[in-house]
Structure 1
C-alpha cells in the first residue's frame, strides 16, 4: 500500500514516525515544500528573547531521521494538484522545476496553516514580516538587532510572547489589536486586565479596538507608519500576528470542510473521502466542551492527530478523544493556563454556562512564602458539567490547566471536582486543593441560586 504524506511539520512528522514504527517496510513518500521539518514555531519568541540560543534546537526531527525509518523524503517539493478520483498527486520540484505525478492508495494531508495576511494597503513593505516558520524566525532575529521601535499587530499568544521578548530586550514596543482585550480567546477580562496593566507598567504601548488600515513607508524606506482606525505609529519593524488559516486549497470541494477551509475528520482521522486522512493545523478538531468541531491550531493537537493517523492508516484501531484547546503561557513572571471555553466565548460554542471566579493562596499561610492563584471555572448551566477553566499565579500552577482539561474530557461535574482525591502536603497545597476549593465555590453558587429559586416559589 502506497501512502503519500503532503506536508511534514508537527502532524506529518508524527504520522510518518508512527506509520513506520508500527509497519516496518511500509511504502511512505513525503512531499514537503520547505527545506526542513518539525520546526517548533511556538519557540520563536524564546529565540527572539534569547532564552533559546540557537534556532536549530527548535527542531525535534529532520529529513535524515525520517529516511532512516524508511520514508522516501522529498524536500522542497510542492504538491500542485490532487486528483482524488484517480488517486494521483501532481508535484513540482522547487529546485529543478521538474514536474511529475505520484500515485497513492492512502493520502495524508498535513499541510498545516499559514498566517492570515489581510488585504491592507502597504502590507508588501519590507518592514512588515510574518512569524510562523524557521526562515521568518531567522529574519526577525537578524532585523531586530539595530531596531528600536517595533510594532506587533495581534494580541494572541504569539503576538504577546513577542511583545514580552522585545520589551525585555529594551525595545520600544507597540501592540495593536482590533479587539478590546488581549488573549481574548483564552482568558476572561479579570485575567487580561491584570496582564494588560503589567504590559503597560513595562513600557509597552497597548492600542486596543484599533483596526490596521495601512502601512506607509518613509522616503528612505527605514520607517513604516502603521495607520489604524485610532492613530498612527512609527515603526522600524512590524510583526504581523493576526491569526492563522488552514492550508487546504488542494482539497477544496473534494472533502468536507468548515467555512474557513478546515478539514473535518472523524474519530479515526478520516476525511469524508475514506482514502484521505488529515491532521494538524489543516483540520478542525473534535471539540469536547460542546461535542462539535472547532478550528484550534496548536502543536499539541497536531502531534496527537498525526499519531492517530499513523495508528489508523491501514485499519481503524484507535479513536480520537477530542481536544479541550488546553494551553499555557509565561508572561512577565505570571504563569497562566487555560482549557475549554471561557465565560466570554461559551455562547459562541452554543453553550449555556455559569462560572465562578476564585482567588486563594496555593498553600497554607503558615508557610514562609506564598502566592495567590486567580482561578475561573466554567460549567454548563443545566448539567453542571465542567467545560472550561483558567488559572494564573506567580507560582507555577499551569499543570492545573491539564487537570481541568482531564475534567472536561472525562465529562466531570463541579461536584466531581469538588471531591477529587488530591494529595495534601504543606509545601504544595492545602488539605483541600485549590481546585477542590474552586469547585466548592461553584457548588456554593448553585446552592445559593437554588435557595433563591425555592424562596421565590414559596412566595408565589
Structure 2
C-alpha cells in the first residue's frame, strides 16, 4: 500500500481544480483521485443536452482532465475513511493511505418522498445517465411536468418547450426563481415563459405520482387538480453528500461537512470543499447555501494552497449566478433584498433602467438593475440584472467583484466606465451609477 501525499474523493470541479493546482505548483505532489462515476457530466449543461443534436460526449467531463495533470485516477466507491490511521478503503477492497485527504464528494438530487416517485418515466437532472434517459423521454413524449421552478427547472422547461413539448412547471413557492431573483424581475421572466406557452403553477404542491401505464404519469396536486404527463422531471434542489464524513466521525450538518476558514474539517489533515462542504456568506458570515460549480472551484483553490503550505483562508461565498430564459438573461450576486432583511441588515435599494446602446442605434433594449446596500456603512451587499442578450454574466461579475472589494455607494458613483454607440449606454448613463443614485435618494 503505497502512501499518497494527497487522496481526493470526488471527480467534480473541486477535485479537478486541486489536481490542476498541484500540477502547476513547484512541488512534486503525488495525488490519487477516487470517484464512483465512470464519466462525470458537465452538470450545468445537462438541460441543454436533452435535444440529441450533439453527441452525449459533448456533455461529459473527460477523465483526461485528471490523468493528464499527473494524478492517479481510481474508478471505485469509497467504503470508509480511517481518520486515525489516515487511510481510505474502497468497495473493491483496496486501501489508500494518505498524508492529506480532501472530501469533494459533491451533492445529489433531492428526491422528494412523494408516493409514486420511484415509478417509471420520472428523472432527475444531474448525471450522464439522467441526460441519456431524458433524451429518450423527450424524443417520444409530448407532455412533460417539471417539479421545481428554480434555475435548472426553468432551463429544462425552456429546452423542452423549444423541442415542441407541452410543458408545465409546478412550484410550491409563491413564485418561480424565488431563491435567486428579485421580485421586480420575476414577473417579466414569468410572462415571457407563459407567452412562449410554458404553463406555470405556483403555490402548488405535488402530492402523488400515479402510473396508469408504463408511458404515462398522472401528477396529483395538493389543490385536488391532476396533470397528465408522459414524463416528469424532478428539479427541487440538491443535498450535500456527507455520509462518508459522518461515518468517519467528522462533523456534519444539513448544510454539509463542517469546515473552518482554511477548509479543514475537525479531523486531522482532512479538508472538504465544494457542494459537500458547509458554506458561509461573504456578506454576513452566517451559514448559507451555495451549490454552484464556481464556489467549488474557489473553495478548492483554498484547499490546494493550504496543502501546498501556503496559508490561505476562504472569505465565504458571494453566490454569483446567471441563467437564460429565451432571449433574456438574468442573474444576481450577494444577497437579494429579502435575504439582507432576513439577515437583519438595514438595507436601502436602488433601481435603474438604462438603454443598452445609444438611443439612435438599432436593436436597443433596456437593462434593468437592482442594487442592495447596507444603509449603515453604505457598502453594496447584493445586486441583480435582467436584460436581453447574453451579457448579464459580465454585469453580475462586476457586482460580485464590487461586493468582494467592499465597494460603497461613493465608490460606485465615482466608477469610471467605457461607452460606445453600439456597445454601451450614452456617456451620462450607467446601470450601476444610476441604481446607486436612486438608492442615495432614499
**TM-score after normalising by structure 1:** 0.90
Map Cα deviations across residues 19-68 of structure 1 (whole Å, 9 max, x no partner). Answer: 2332554221221111024x311111211246x72331233441x44234
CA distance, structure 1, for counterparts of residue 268 and residue 412 of structure 2 = 39
Partner of 2:426: 430
Task: Give the superposition deviation at 1:261.
Answer: 4.1
Provide the secondary structure at the position in 2 that maps to 1:252: helix
Secondary structure of 2:271 counterpart:
strand
In 2, the alpha carbon distance for the partners of 1:338 and 1:49 equals 28
Is structure 2 residue 442 aligned with structure 1 residue 440? no
Cα distance change of structure 1 residues 100 and 408 upon mapping to structure 2, 3 Å threshold? same
Q: How far does residue 110 in structure 1 lie from its aligned partner after superposition?
A: 0.4
Distance (whole Å) between structure 2 residues aligned to residue 189 and residue 430 of structure 1: 28
Other structure's SS at 2:308 match: coil
Name the SS for the 2:377 alignment partner.
coil
Answer yes or no: is the 8 Å Cα contact 1:415–1:443 preserved in 2. no
| Matched ranges for 1:104-119 at <5 A | 104-119=98-113
Alignment: residue pair count: 434
| Structure 1 match to 2:398 | 403
Give the match for residue 415 of structure 1: 410
Q: Is it true that 1:46 corresponds to 2:48 in the alignment?
A: yes
Separation in structure 1 between the aligned mates of residue 340 and residue 314 of structure 2, nearest angstrom = 23
CA distance in 1, matches of 2:207, 2:369: 37
1:167 is matched with 161
Alpha-carbon distance between aligned partners in 2 of 1:426 and 1:396, rounded to the nearest angstrom: 18
Q: How does 1:9-408 map to 2 (within 5 A)?
A: 9-22=12-25, 25-37=28-40, 39-49=41-51, 53-62=54-63, 64-75=64-75, 77-93=76-92, 99-218=93-212, 220-230=213-223, 231-252=225-246, 254-257=249-252, 259-398=253-392, 399-408=394-403
CA distance in 1, matches of 2:214, 2:346: 51
Q: Deviation of residue 394 (structure 1)? A: 1.2
Q: Distance in 2 between matches of 1:201 and 1:10?
A: 36
- In 2, are the aligned partners of 1:353 and 1:381 still within 8 Å (CA)? yes
User: SS of the counterpart of 1:325?
Assistant: coil
Distance 1:380 1:181 in 2: 26
CA 1:321–1:261 in structure 2 vs 1: closer, same or farther (change >3 Å)?
closer
Instruction: Answer yes or no: is the 8 Å Cα contact 2:324–2:390 preserved in 1.
Output: no
Kept in 1: contact 2:146–2:153 (CA 8 A) = yes
- For 1:333 and 1:71, the matched residues in 2 are separated by 41
Q: Give secondary structure in 2 for the equivalent of 1:160.
A: helix
Deviation at 1:274, TM superposition (A): 4.1
Q: How far apart are residue 114 of structure 1 and its match?
A: 0.2
Aligned-residue offset at 1:86:
2.1
Residue in 2 that maps onto 1:458: none
Segment of structure 1 superposing worse, 373-382 or 167-176: 373-382
Q: In 2 relative to 1, CA 300–87 (structure 1 residues): closer, same or farther, beyond 3 Å? A: same
TM-score, normalization by structure 2? 0.93
Separation (CA, whole Å) in 2 of partners of 1:440 and 1:72? 54
Please report the RMSD computed on the Cα atoms of aligned residues, expressed in angstroms: 1.9
Unmatched 5+ stretches in structure 2:
none
